[in-house]
Structure 1
Amino acid sequence: MRRLPAVLVSAVLAVALAGCAGSAATGSPPAASAEESCPQASVPLSDLDLVDDVRAVTGGSTACLSSQAIDPVDDDSAPQLPVTVTDSEGRTVEISDVDRILPIDISGTIASTVFALGLGDQVVGRDSSTRFAGTEDLPVVTKTGHTLNAEAILELAPTVILTDTTIGPKEIRQQLRDAGIAIVVISSDRRLDTTDELVTEIAAALGVPRRGAALIERLDTDLEATRAEIAEVVPADVDDRARMLFLYVRGNANIYYMFGEDSGADSLIDAVGGVDVAAEIGWEGMKPMTAEALVAAKPDVLVMMTDGLESVDGIDGLIERIPAIAETPAGAHRRVIDMEDSEILSFGPRSADVIAAIARALYAPASGSASGSASDPAPSEPSEPAT
């Protein structure tokens, strides 16, 4: 399958998630636990109140995870060190100590993978997007959503840093290398079908390949089970399936993007049994939206990041700012599914949970919390993407 260059995907995601950095950087976890805010998230999809016609649903719904916790793999084999790896930038890196790990990227995916490998106790800091249970007290080392704070990092004295090109700048990474810290740059390609490779890279760098293999087996099993559960409720006739489009917005910055083929969002839509309308019109990657493309796509459902929806004052504000949406079925039905910015594209240990959450919001919207009356959180202006 054709893939967009990882640096392009990383650049857009860096801009995308910068807007949620302001609140996350404070270190505050979500106000309520997943069990309190999403009580039916653990109920099998088939046991929920499913809609009769997924294309005729009106109003917004929020996709939420069944748990904010990351379960470590059932394997406590000791790290085999030292280990030498070649990272995604072609650098040869030797890691001899994993007692103080600093995992940092734009989505918190690397950190969640380290915790899933059972090495959470060795993590000494976090990025502003890492907000799952057990990370609340870790110091934040990013000034914004994707800017590294060298001083804060050096104070933590990490023995190994795992990062990718979604966070930078690269000059800071080099400064940290010059300080003698082992830095491994992990691949930035985030999709459902690259999760195994992500785990393999991280497990190899930390000297725990056996744990990595066990985690991959678990994740693959979970993903297969979730796909099977969703398949049971997907309409048999393609014409009856929801026509879906991932729309990224930052209202205060006047940024409006459509995510198309090979953006990662397409794999989410495929996984929940939706029709990826961006693919139908030949929309590739992540590009600024046009009214013509939006109307031509004729989506029934718009999928968005929660902070993005809030940045335009909810569904009503979205339609007001982008009049072309009113000309689509999604606009006519005010049909939007939103999900937390740091979760929706965080492919990794939570991949199965993410698609299960979107499926619940799509096929059983009453099981989630309603959106569409969001307030304006005044997201920060996007800055230059990391390299």
Structure 2
Amino acid sequence: MFSRAGLGILAFGLAFALGLSACSSPGQTDVATNGEITATLTDPDPQPIAADPRPRLPVTVRGFDGTDVTVSDTSRIIAVDRFGTLAQTVYALGLGPHLIGRSTAAKLPAIIDRTDVTPGGEAMSVEAVLALHPTLLLTDTTTGTPAVFEQLRAAGVSIVFFDPARTLTGTGPQIQAVADALGVHDQGVALAQRTTAEIAAATAAVPAGKPKPRIAFVYLRGTALTMLAGPGSGADALITGLGAEDAGTAAGLTEPFVTITSEALIAARPDILLVMTDGLASVGGPASLLKLPGIGQTPAGRADRIIDMSDSVLLCFGPNTGRVMTALLPAVYR
């Protein structure tokens, strides 16, 4: 089993994550001939809530680690977490021009050219961060060791920590927490309201009266099954929000992700396999996935029910959450 922090470094660093807003491009689902469905966002970049707003600084905020931090300069921001949420939120708040560094997970087209300070999905590199001369680092406890953060603080980097958990109900509050740390409170209110409304609309769109499918989020890399998601993975919150049942949680997992065996997957009895697009490609595509040991013995394998979505949006949460859910709904309830 992996600890929450260990999983963040080992797995999600490698991965990354029909729009409801009038300003957002619609999503779609593409059905392959073998029954696999790709859920997409036509424009994966969230619509900024403002155009380069002027932060009201200085501002003092209490980070998730309990430390009070005074932020006086947001001209050079690095945002790093295992889901890519923080970088996406900075961009959606309208401060994309000030974002200079990101994590491997933050692969939205609008910010893909920012420096990756967690290359290869490893822990944050002190050298990579300091080379960018940041005025502010937004992060969480899963992206580096205490020694790394001590070195950065000793070098004069202001660090604000955020909650590493990803839930639907926590999405709005986290957006607001990021906005407050950046001195753009009003933009945070507007963005949180927009995102919360999109999540609510997606949840309300879950078809009534249909059987609740059991969905397994499977992390794929290489030529084999790698990990199965469980409680606290973020995937469980997304799946539940879609009106479905998380297969890992139902199977009794107690960690966000566990190393998976064919026997464990068979026992989880998923009706649908939810995977990241790059992960699916890494095993050779849907036809190859269905040939892996254990897959064919699951209801999902027998029914050819595979849904994939871009690594950069599927589990990113943040401002795209409602749009991601809406794009997934037709695939889940086809």
Query: TM-score with structure 2 length normalisation?
Result: 0.86
Contact 1:106 1:146 in 2 (8 A): no
CA distance in 2, matches of 1:103, 1:327: 42
1:352 corresponds to 2:325: no
Identity within the alignment, % = 38
User: Of 324, 333, 337, which aligns to 2:294?
Assistant: 324
Specify every segment of 5 or more residues in structure 1 that has no aligned partner in the other structure, as ranges: 1-6, 22-33, 36-40, 51-56, 365-387
The match for 1:192 is 168
The match for 1:9 is 4
Deviation at 1:255, TM superposition (A): 5.7
- Residue 124 of structure 1 aligns to a residue in which SS? strand
User: Of 169, 192, 215, which aligns to 1:216?
Assistant: 192
Mean Cα deviation higher: 104-113 or 309-318: 309-318
CA distance in 2, matches of 1:335, 1:245: 11
CA distance in 1, matches of 2:264, 2:128: 44
Deviation at 1:352, TM superposition (A): 0.8
CA distance in 2, matches of 1:128, 1:342: 9
* Structure 1 counterpart of 2:7, one-letter code: V
Deviations 1:33-89 (A, max 9, x none): x99xxxxx727x8xx999xxxxxx962111211312221214876422222222112
Deviation at 1:101, TM superposition (A): 1.3
Contact 2:74 2:136 in 1 (8 A): yes
CA distance in 1, matches of 2:237, 2:230: 10
Which one has a larger percent strand, Structure 1 or Structure 2? 2
* Structure 1 counterpart of 2:209, one-letter code: A
Contact 2:77 2:100 in 1 (8 A): yes
1:158 corresponds to 2:134: yes
1:92 corresponds to 2:68: yes
User: Of 233, 236, 239, which aligns to 1:269?
Assistant: 239
Deviation at 1:128, TM superposition (A): 2.7
Deviations 1:242-301 (A, max 9, x none): 32211123335x562221233221222222222333343333332222444422332221
1:236 corresponds to 2:209: yes
CA distance in 2, matches of 1:257, 1:131: 21
Contact 1:306 1:340 in 2 (8 A): yes
* Structure 1 counterpart of 2:192, one-letter code: I
Contact 2:13 2:118 in 1 (8 A): no
Closer, same or farther in 2 for the Cα pair 1:65/1:99, shift >3 Å? Answer: same
Closer, same or farther in 2 for the Cα pair 1:256/1:226, shift >3 Å? Answer: same
Contact 1:77 1:210 in 2 (8 A): no
Mean Cα deviation higher: 353-362 or 182-191: 353-362
The match for 2:22 is none
Closer, same or farther in 2 for the Cα pair 1:17/1:237, shift >3 Å? Answer: closer
The match for 1:53 is none
* Structure 1 counterpart of 2:9, one-letter code: A
User: Of 219, 224, 227, which aligns to 1:248?
Assistant: 219
1:305 corresponds to 2:305: no
Closer, same or farther in 2 for the Cα pair 1:255/1:319, shift >3 Å? Answer: closer
Mean Cα deviation higher: 272-281 or 186-195: 272-281
Closer, same or farther in 2 for the Cα pair 1:311/1:279, shift >3 Å? Answer: same
- Residue 12 of structure 1 aligns to a residue in which SS? helix
User: Of 210, 216, 227, which aligns to 2:203?
Assistant: 227
Q: What are the within-5 Å matches in structure 2 for residues 14-53 of structure 1?
A: 14-20=9-15, 42=26
Contact 1:60 1:334 in 2 (8 A): yes
CA distance in 2, matches of 1:139, 1:49: 32
* Structure 2 counterpart of 1:171, one-letter code: A
CA distance in 2, matches of 1:76, 1:157: 21
Contact 2:53 2:95 in 1 (8 A): no
The match for 2:101 is 125
Closer, same or farther in 2 for the Cα pair 1:77/1:307, shift >3 Å? Answer: closer
The match for 2:121 is 145
* Structure 2 counterpart of 1:250, one-letter code: R
User: Of 56, 60, 63, which aligns to 1:80?
Assistant: 56
CA distance in 1, matches of 2:313, 2:133: 28
The match for 1:338 is 308
* Structure 1 counterpart of 2:47, one-letter code: D
User: Of 231, 237, 250, which aligns to 1:280?
Assistant: 250
Deviation at 1:211, TM superposition (A): 1.8
Contact 1:17 1:342 in 2 (8 A): no
* Structure 2 counterpart of 1:11, one-letter code: G
Contact 2:213 2:271 in 1 (8 A): yes
Deviation at 1:338, TM superposition (A): 1.3
Specify every segment of 5 or more residues in structure 2 that has no aligned partner in the other structure, as ranges: 20-24
Contact 2:248 2:268 in 1 (8 A): yes
CA RMSD of superposed structures (Å): 2.9
CA distance in 1, matches of 2:315, 2:8: 9
Deviation at 1:155, TM superposition (A): 2.8
Contact 1:302 1:335 in 2 (8 A): yes
* Structure 1 counterpart of 2:138, one-letter code: L
